[in-house]
Amino acid sequence: MTLSKVTPLQIKTLNTMLREIKKYKNEYGHEPTTEELSKILKINEEEINILQTFYKESEEELQRLEEEIKPFSVSSLSSKEYNELVSLIQKNKHSLNETEREILLLSFGLIDGKKWTIHELAHKFSKTEERIRQIVAKSIRKIKKQEQKAIN
């Protein structure tokens, strides 16, 4: 199940399920079984399995995206690399939409010199931290793709 195939109701149910799992774990010291979750949430076990699979796939995708972003951490760049990154972003920022551009520029400190945290960006743009990470990764991929097009 991809994110595009998930309904808003499923996202809401997934969030509720995660809260209930946490509550259950705090109370009983272990995670509930699928059957227990089904009773708590009042939905069938098949839907629980679908949501758990989606959550696992999302977590794996998030880890992959975080690994993809790591090399672009501003704090780990030399001043030369940082300047090259700024140049690359400035040169290719037209390939991004307004939100992607602003999030990327703020996350790398390219607007006001302050590197905004994922948490700060999520609050500013009224998005989840996971969504901000996805936008940053997507923006980086777009810029890389644009640069490759220019080279070829």
pLDDT of the residue at 51:
85
Whether CATH 3.30.2350.10 fits 73-151: no
pLDDT (tens, 9 = 90+) of the chain, 152 residues, equals: 445 466 777 778 888 888 898 899 999 999 899 999 999 999 999 988 888 888 888 777 767 766 665 555 555 667 777 777 778 887 888 888 999 989 988 988 878 778 888 899 999 999 988 888 888 888 888 887 887 887 76
pLDDT of the residue at 32:
92
117: which residues sit within 8 A by CB, 6+ positions away?
Answer: none
Locate 110 and state its tokens: 């390219």
Alpha carbon of 87 to those of 33, 79, 92: distances in Å?
52, 12, 8
| Residues 122 and 134 sit within 8 Å (Cβ to Cβ) | no
25: which residues sit within 8 A by CB, 6+ positions away?
Answer: 31, 32
80: which residues sit within 8 A by CB, 6+ positions away?
Answer: none
pLDDT of the residue at 91:
82
Q: pTM of the predicted model, to two decimals?
A: 0.49
